[in-house]
């Protein structure tokens, strides 16, 4: 079943990009990134859903930057949505956030750590908005059918599932591309979160590390497998990013990578 996000169809053959900075750092930066991503995706011809988190509630350290919060973050995303005419998504962490987030977001994202939280999934489904559930680092792909059924129990069937790696020992993730095929067999579109699959959780002690050098080959592999959408955290200066810089794609590298994956997608399609 295809998922429709503000005029974008996911699961009907076209490759879609979900991308943006990990976290809302400022309105000025948000505009810079949204404008650049809109221009790049327009040139290469791939639909864009712009993503940035208004709150990262699962940071490694209490001292880490979390973002502007629900109200201010949604205000900024609303401005981006209207100014750049782009679909927007962000993640919710608590049930009370769902209804308010749905007033702005075109796609509601459930963080990987929370993919088993029944009440959160039900609240997201009850909004009627499309829901993207990220597979937990601790979850087998076949177990995600239970998360899927929880949202579907609200009569909301606009659901997609995202692979973002699985824990392999401490501070390390691996990406099993078989998960894409297993989860697609549930009848929903499947997304590959390339950059989070290359995260090293807590790998720097008080923050996460990452293997940015593997973004391009993993993206190419996912599209060759036949994924419906790619999720990538993109930043103009990853080394200065306030969250997930080590596993973020540098903005200047995005266009060439998208051209590559679209060529692969044409062959697979």
Q: What is the pLDDT of residue 206?
A: 61
Between CA 204 and CA 207 the distance in angstroms is 5
Q: What is the pLDDT of residue 257?
A: 98
How many CA atoms lie within 13 Å of 122's alpha carbon, on the beta-carbon side?
4
Residue 224 in tokens:
């060759």
Q: What is the pLDDT of residue 146?
A: 98
Between CA 204 and CA 221 the distance in angstroms is 27
Helix ranges (DSSP H) in the chain: 27-44, 70-84, 97-102, 118-126, 144-152, 178-184, 194-197, 215-225, 254-268
The domain defined by 3-268 carries CATH number 3.20.20.70: yes
Q: What is the pLDDT of residue 203?
A: 59
Residue 64 in tokens:
């880490």
Q: What is the pLDDT of residue 210?
A: 75
Between CA 107 and CA 246 the distance in angstroms is 26
Within 10 Å of residue 8's Cβ, how many Cβ atoms?
22
Q: Report the pLDDT averaged over residues 77-95.
A: 98
Residue 159 is classified by DSSP as E
Largest Cα–Cα distance in the chain?
A: 46
């Amino acid at each position: 079943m295809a998922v429709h996000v503000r005029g974008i169809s996911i699961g009907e053959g076209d490759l879609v990009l979900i991308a943006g900075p990990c976290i809302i750092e400022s309105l000025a930066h948000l505009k810079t990134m949204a404008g650049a991503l809109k221009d790049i995706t327009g040139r290469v011809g791939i639909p864009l859903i712009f993503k940035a988190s208004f709150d990262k509630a699962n940071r490694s350290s209490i001292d880490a930057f979390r973002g502007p919060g629900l109200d201010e973050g949604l205000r900024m995303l609303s401005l981006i949505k209207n100014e750049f005419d782009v679909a927007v998504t962000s993640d919710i962490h608590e049930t009370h956030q769902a209804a308010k987030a749905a007033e702005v977001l075109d796609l509601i994202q459930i963080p990987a750590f929370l993919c088993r939280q029944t009440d959160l999934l039900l609240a997201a489904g009850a909004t009627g908005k499309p829901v993207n559930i990220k597979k937990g680092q601790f979850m087998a792909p076949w177990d995600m059918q239970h998360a899927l059924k929880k949202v579907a129990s609200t009569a909301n069937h606009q659901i997609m599932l995202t692979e973002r790696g699985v824990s392999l020992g401490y501070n390390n993730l691996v990406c099993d591309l078989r998960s894409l095929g297993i989860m697609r067999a549930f009848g929903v579109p499947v997304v590959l979160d390339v950059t989070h699959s290359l995260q090293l959780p807590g790998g720097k002690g008080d923050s996460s590390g990452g293997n940015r050098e593997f973004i391009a080959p993993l993206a190419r592999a996912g599209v060759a497998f036949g994924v419906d959408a790619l999720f990538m955290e993109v930043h103009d200066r990853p080394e200065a990013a306030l969250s997930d810089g080590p596993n973020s794609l540098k903005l200047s590298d995005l266009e060439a990578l998208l051209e590559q994956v679209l060529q692969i997608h044409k062959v697979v399609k």
